[in-house]
Structures are given as C-alpha cells and as structure tokens.
C-alpha cells in the first residue's frame, strides 16, 4: 500500500555490479518505501537474482558504481549477516541444502541472533519449538520438517515454504522474494501468498521477483518493474504485469526505442 506517511527503506542509485569482470547490473535505480509491495519481472538472465544477491551481500559480485541505502545507512558497507540483522531478508530462488544441520537448530539460531540484535528475549529449544510450530501452521507445513536437515531432500515447493517460514520468524523490514512462486502448485501458491500477506504490514516492504501474473493476483503489487539487461526499463502498476502476461516483453523494446529515439 502506498502511504504518504511512509519512510524510505531502500534507495538504490545507479547501481552497477559485475561478476568476474562481466557487468551484469547496469545502472539500477529503485526506491522502496515502507508499506509498499514491488514486483520485478523480466526475461531470464536479465539480472533479477543478481540484484537480489547484491542486496543481500553475496561476495561473488563486485559493485563497481552506485549506492544502496537501507534506512538511510550505507548498505554496501555491511557484511551479509549485518544486513540480515538490520532487517533485510532474501528468499532464495534456489535455497541451498545443508546436510547435517537440523532445520530446527538452524531456525532457532537465526531467530535468536536476530532477537538478540533487537534487544529481545531469545528462546530456548522448547519455547522455540512451540513458537515455530505455530508459524508452520500458517504455511501448512508438517512438523517433521523441523527434524530434517536444512532443505535436504525437500521438494522444490517445500524449500520455498521453508524460505517463507524463515521470513515469518525473522520479521524483516524488507524482504526480497526471488521467484518464491516457481515450483509451487496452485494450492501451495495460495497458502504461501496468504502467509506473505499476513506478514506484510505498513512498516515493512516486499520485493517480489516473479515471472507470473498469477502470484500478483494473490499479492497485489503497488509497483511493477521490468528489468532488461541489468536495468529497470519500465515501471508501472499492477496493470503492467497483466499486459506483460498477454503481450510478452517484445513490445517494451519497441516502446523503448521510440522513447529514446533510437531507430531499429
């Protein structure tokens, strides 16, 4: 929801980033305020996940120009764990499996780290167990996921639910959900979308990276951005997503050329 009294959470200016000297982000500008839901769409390989990982602080990417401010602070100066503690959350497109680490142990460790950062009480294993089981109900997850290793042998959809469970536990200010809808069946999509909607409120914000309009039927975005070759080339409201669904991305190129006066 767009709100006049909202504060700016994220401000990205002219962001350039490369990996192994190949430039992937090519001048991104984006402002996200509290209470807002943004969707980022775009063709495969346009740089959506790269943007998400640069925001989370992945060390493989080098930021070559531009700035990112999170609540007015220089995000790029912080290591990944401090970004998380400051309230940034990345739901991964491909959540990694960690054999040998019990999901419950991992979730509690993450939860208590963030709680300590916020000056709040940490939970012991028993207290945490009650707490996490409540949150799992929200996402219709079976309790036996707690005893298994982190994401190990989880189906694609189960991994995505585990990501949203972490989001629900950590209560971030800004969540970037990278294709959380991919791999979800229609029922799961509704459950996850419903979970996200319950977590969303006027003081936090969400960036949804998605290829599909159907997610945006459940989580209605305030802004829709189109990424192409490492830049945001068009921004609109939820109608833009519908247009993309029917027309694809080609027309954007034509519009772009018109707008910039470049001949084909």
Ligand X SMILES: Nc1ncnc2c1ncn2[C@@H]1O[C@H](COP(=O)(O)OP(=O)(O)OP(=O)(O)O)[C@@H](O)[C@H]1O
Q: Which residues bind Mg ion (CB under 5 A)?
A: 48-49, 93
Please, what is the end-to-end C-alpha distance for the chain in angstroms?
A: 39
Q: Which is nearer to Mg ion, 104 or 228 (CB)?
A: 228
101 binds another protein, rule: CB under 8 A: yes
CA nearest neighbour of 34 among 55, 66, 13, 11: 11
Tokens, residue 102: 């019990």
114 binds another protein, rule: CB under 8 A: yes
- Binds another protein by CB under 8 A, chosen from 136, 170, 219, 244: 170
48 binds ligand X, rule: CB under 6 A: yes
Binding positions for another protein, 49-78, rule CB under 8 A? 56-60
- Alpha-carbon gap, residue 168 to 263, rounded angstroms: 49
- Binds another protein by CB under 8 A, chosen from 2, 45, 67, 109: 109
Question: Shortest Cβ contact with Mg ion: which residue?
Answer: 49
- Alpha-carbon gap, residue 61 to 49, rounded angstroms: 11
Partner that binds at residue 95, options Mg ion, ligand X, another protein, none, CB closer than 5 to 8 Å by kind = another protein
Q: Which is nearer to another protein, 170 or 224 (CB)?
A: 170
Cα–Cα distances (Å) from 23 to 43, 79, 129, in that order, read 17, 22, 44
Binding positions for ligand X, 24-43, rule CB under 6 A? 24, 42
- Alpha-carbon gap, residue 139 to 108, rounded angstroms: 18
Residue with tokens 């945001």: 232
């Amino acid at each position: 929801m767009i709100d006049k009294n909202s504060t700016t959470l994220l401000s990205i200016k002219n962001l350039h980033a490369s990996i192994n000297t190949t430039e992937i982000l090519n001048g991104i500008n984006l402002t996200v305020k509290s209470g807002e839901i943004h969707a980022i769409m775009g063709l495969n390989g346009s740089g959506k996940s790269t943007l998400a990982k640069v925001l989370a602080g992945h060390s493989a990417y080098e930021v070559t120009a531009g700035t990112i401010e999170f609540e007015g602070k220089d995000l790029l100066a912080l290591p990944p764990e401090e970004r998380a503690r400051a309230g940034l959350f990345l739901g991964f497109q491909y959540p990694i499996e960690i054999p040998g680490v019990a999901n419950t142990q991992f979730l509690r460790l993450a939860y208590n780290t963030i709680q300590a950062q916020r000056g709040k009480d940490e939970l012991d294993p028993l207290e945490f167990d009650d707490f996490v089981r409540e949150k799992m109900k929200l996402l219709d997850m079976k309790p036996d996921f707690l005893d298994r290793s982190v994401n190990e042998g989880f189906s694609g959809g189960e991994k995505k639910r585990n990501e949203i469970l972490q989001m629900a536990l950590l209560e971030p200010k800004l969540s970037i959900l990278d294709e959380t809808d991919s791999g979800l069946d229609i029922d799961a999509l509704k459950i996850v979308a419903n979970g996200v909607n319950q977590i969303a409120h006027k003081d936090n914000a969400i960036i949804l990276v998605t290829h599909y309009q159907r997610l945006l039927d459940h989580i209605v975005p305030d802004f829709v951005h189109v990424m192409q070759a490492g830049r945001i080339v068009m921004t609109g409201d939820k109608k833009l997503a519908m247009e993309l669904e029917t027309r694809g991305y080609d027309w954007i190129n034509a519009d772009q050329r018109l707008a910039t006066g470049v001949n084909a």
